[in-house]
Structure 1
Amino acid sequence: MRSREDLGSAIIRMAESGNGVMEISRLLNIPHSTVSKALKRFRGRRTKEDRSGRGRSRTANTTGNQKKVLGRLERNPRTKKNSTRKMAKAIGI
């Protein structure tokens, strides 16, 4: 199985050498929509890499927030206030 990077490079090379979307699709045995999306990404950004900042960010998992949570748990580990949601709301996460 080819990796996504290898496939993207092959699509771009074939397009630059003059092959059309359907021909590239047939030669690489992949859907033409995949070829179209790869070429659109390349033409728009001049790179085959994904945009940065995609996916869910992990802003709540910082060292400071971890210390706040651990401090609350060390003070009183058996209290009912240690529900995850209540603690997050109290800390301001």
Structure 2
Amino acid sequence: MSWHIGSEQGFSFSLGKNYKFIERYLPEQDCQKLLSTYSENSYENMWQSLFTCHELFRKYAKAVSKNLGYPYPNYDEVITKYTEEIYHSLN
């Protein structure tokens, strides 16, 4: 997410220690999704947090690759599929 912000705003400023100012540059919905990944109160929520991280990573990695002019590889989709298979095999 920080790379996405940098690719749009320039890399000459700081998002603060531990990215404390990141919410100033992200859509509210994505900030809420990011915060939801810190939920550790159940086994199911931990899995959902992982899948949310995959979703956010894919969204922002694709945007960064486009902004910087690089092709986006498909291996994150392969990893997501693999992780989902593990999840389904355990349930």
Fold-level similarity (TM above 0.5): no
Instruction: Normalising by structure 1, report the TM-score.
Output: 0.24
More helix by share: 2
RCO (CA 8 Å, sep 6+): is it higher in 1 or 2?
2
Higher radius of gyration, 1 or 2: 1
